[in-house]
Amino acid sequence: MQSVAAETSAVSDLENTYQLTAADRCDSCGAQAYIRVDMPSGGELLFCAHHGRKYQEKLSQVATGWHDESAKLNERP
Ligand SMILES: [Zn+2]
């Protein structure tokens, strides 16, 4: 298990080190976020699994990165 600090400012190893936490909330409904979308502006959007899928078709055309941790929903702690 990795321990994830509240601040994830390191940008060197984005592929596997970035983890969404319970503190990350869906921008649409406020549920726990499982999907992070990197935008060309440098910003990011957070979505729950439901809204991630809902907006994926639209956002995937402009997003520069798509970080999906929704598989966690099927895991037991
Ligand atoms: Zn949502």
Instruction: For residue 19, give every residue at least 6 positions away whose Cβ sits within 8 Å of its Cβ, in sequence order, or none.
Output: 2, 4, 8, 69
**Ligand 1 mean position to 49 CA, how many Å?**
7
40-65: per-residue pLDDT in tens? 999 999 999 999 999 999 999 999 99
This prediction's pTM: 0.71
**Ligand 1 mean position to 26 CA, how many Å?**
5
pLDDT at 12: 45
Sorted by where each begins, the domain ranges of the chain are 21-74
